[in-house]
Chain A
Amino acid sequence: MSDPSAPRVSLFVTCLADLMRPSVAFASIRLLEQAGCIVDVPLQQTCCGQPGYNSGDYESTIPVARRTIELFEHAEYVVAPSGSCAGMLREHYPKLLQGEWRERALALAEKTFELTCFLTDVVKLDSAPAISTQMPAVTYHDSCAGLRELGIKEQPRKLLKELCNVEIKEMQQTDVCCGFGGTFCAKMPDISAKMVDDKLKNAVASGASMITGGDLGCLFNIAGRARREGIDIEVRHVAELLSGDLYSPAIGEGE
């Protein structure tokens, strides 16, 4: 029997975790359950609509946003392992939609959280699976949407410290964009490459051998550029670290 007072969480998987790195979504479920939540995954979910929205195609994004609202508005809490997707639901749906839909977007926004934020600010996760391997030196990339739209800065650091005993080796300019920016990185590849090079330079200079963060888009960009440039640094989503999943290949690494 499940605890009737347990928080019910609907997981917004995010399209990148769904398509590219399911371990992040499974890790999120484990962490939420460990924090005493009952987790469900609405099976009809796809993408929050950021690519079109950020590129200015509001017209095609509106139905995607409405659809997401319909799928999730029944939830007690909606949690996403991504600051930018949670930010899309929280900050941008209400900007995009009008009238009754705006009201519904605002209601959804109130109960939508990024994963590390939810695990510290809403529920309490106080034990992590014991990590048998020695954790490498880790640095944290603050993804822009999480940092500036949702105020996520201390939450993942606190969790990593308390649960994994990981002390972050802070890099210089950790709050500067890594150059991903969704379609930006494909539209302005030269500038984007310069930005991600700066990010990698700062990460390596911090002495860390692993970069973690809360947004797969940024992490794919960082890992992809590291692979291209032959920079030896491991890239993993923070949910994987927190759930002790260090065994599957890191992002961009072969088996």
Chain B
Amino acid sequence: MKLQSQHFQAKTAEALADTAGVAQRDVLALFAPMLRDAAVQEFGSFEALRQHVKHIRQHSLDNLDYYLARFELEATNNGNQVHYADTSEEMNSIVLDICQQHDARRVAKGKSMVTEETGLNDFLQRGGLEVVETDLGEYIIQQAGETPSHIVGPALHKSEQQIRELFLEKHALGERELETTADLVTEARTVLREHFLKADVGIIGSNALIAENGYSMLVTNEGNGDLCANLPNVLIICTTLDRVLPRGEDATAMQRLLVRSATGQPQTCYTSFYSGPRREGELDGPLETHIVLLDNKRSDILASDYKEMLQCIRCGACLNHCPIFAAAGGHSYGWVYSGPMGSILTPLLTSLEASEALPNACSSCGRCEEVCPAAIPIPDLLRDLRHEQSRQKITAPRWRSGLKLHAWLAMRPALYQFLTGTTMTILHRFGRKKGSFSKLPLAGGWTGKRDFPAPQSSTFMQQYKARSKADE
């Protein structure tokens, strides 16, 4: 997917001007945390589970070479073909090759952020294949020619009315009303059923790869993943190599965190484990299965100070709890992943310079870290990225020099107190009547949107020193 993150601020301004969109995001920002909170409370020992899974994930990543080899061995024994792809292009080519080997024309696709990352759909379509997204949200945005605005709910930015209009336009099904949401879902189901039945290849993602048995776990609410996996003759699972976990029970432990954090459900409708192709005597299932494991800089991240980011389980809780995400909307982030996790992943997977705004789209409020089921220190990682930007001089020069000057002054108390004392006294004199300034030199960033409260008096240090002197 093409990077658009350099336009973050402009896109945010657009998003904020769309009042209906703002209202829709505000509702999500209010209710999604409530749902998650209720689910976490009901579970009880969520924190203990969180720490337990964090420990396992850390262990798996620290021993990734071992567990990947084990996974490959077991998956191969189950009849899967395991492929490794270093880059997005490689993954796309591997998938296209498999499709072409089978003379495939139609692909039914389950939801997968990894394939959004690699731009797989476009690539396959250019290769002559018809690709249909089968997750309802993904299907909607595919029909609309858009990209996901949220990693869990890709079409959350769409209103019911927009979806109605879209279906009426895109589905050649004659005169109809589609009055209720149930009508919309029924129509999508009917249309998608045809695609499932006609597809030659199914492509899905994976929430976890289990080393001990070579299984791949997938969590969905719609069951579309199972239809993609079982109806076509060929199944391709596209995921990244950091998804591997040692045991089945580790995957299910992670799943308990995932569903509650993502949607506040105690359980999703479907949690499936895919072992491999149809075995002798079995009545259904794919005849051939492939697992394509993408690296795309994950190895670099693993070797870096940002390795904790690989523990992300893609639940979207940080998006749902981030007031900046609520204000900006997912599309403003300009790439596949949005919100706090996207503001870390995008610079790491694309370009720190082109995505300059993203690590700065953070007020360090810490709500994301508080709810992150993987206990990733998100604000720390974002600050470290800002540090990297500062070191590489990507940060705007006026900010760099301003902050350097501030620190320089903070090291010189006599000068600092003289300058602040003089400035505050003057500002106080000019501002005391009105109480605040609507404009102030060098404070445009502040006064663009808010008044600058006038200092109450001279500085505390001036007054305190004067009082101490008087007491002597």
Contacts and interface: CB of A to CB of B under 8 A. Distances in A.
Contacts of B452: 224
A44 B413 contact: yes
A78 B128 CA distance: 69
A63 B411 contact: yes
B399 A55 contact: yes
A36 interface: no
Contacts of A220: 453
Contacts of A56: 359, 383-391, 395
Contacts of A95: 380
A182 B364 CA distance: 9
Interface stretch (A97-105, A130-138, A193-201): A193-201
Interface centre among A17, A187, A251 (most CB of B within 10 A): A187
Given A18-B420, A19-B420, A46-B409, A148 B366 contact: yes
Contacts of B403: 51-52, 55, 57, 60, 183
Interface string A43-77: 11111010111111111110110010000000000
B367 A144 contact: yes
A249 B436 CA distance: 11
A207 interface: no
A190 B13 contact: yes
B392 to A, nearest CB: 10
B186 to A, nearest CB: 36
Contacts of B127: none
Contacts of A167: none
Contact of A251 (B395, B406, B453, B463): B453
Interface of A is mostly: helix
Interface in A5-36: 13, 15, 17-23, 25-26
Nearest to A26: B460
Contacts of A196: 449-450
Interface in A73-128: 95
A51 B390 CA distance: 13
Interface string B443-454: 001101111111
B383 A54 contact: yes
Contact of B327 (A44, A148, A194, A221): A194
A253 interface: yes
B408 interface: yes
B411 A67 contact: yes
Interface string A209-252: 00000000000110111011000000000000000000011011
Contact of A144 (B363, B455, B459, B461): B363
A61 B407 contact: yes
A52 B406 contact: yes
Interface residues of A, number: 75
B364 A46 contact: no
Contacts of B411: 46, 63-64, 67
Interface of B is mostly: helix
Contacts of B328: 191
A143 to B, nearest CB: 9
A177 B367 contact: yes
Interface string B1-45: 000000001001100100000100010001000000000000000
Contacts of A3: none
Contacts of B327: 190-191, 194-195
Given A19-B420, A64-B407, A255-B432, A181 B390 contact: no
Contacts of B390: 55-59
A173 interface: yes
B180 interface: no
Nearest to B13: A190
A145 interface: yes
A63 B9 contact: no
Interface in B328-375: 328, 357, 359-367, 369-370
A21 to B, nearest CB: 5
B445 A186 contact: yes
Interface string A164-200: 0000000011011101111111111111111110100
Given A55-B395, A181-B362, A227-B453, 14 more contacts: A22-B456, A25-B464, A51-B406, A60-B408, A144-B367, A172-B30, A176-B323, A177-B323, A184-B362, A187-B445, A190-B13, A190-B16, A224-B450, A255-B433
13 contacts: A18-B461, A19-B424, A55-B399, A144-B366, A180-B363, A182-B364, A187-B399, A187-B445, A221-B450, A223-B436, A223-B453, A227-B453, A252-B453
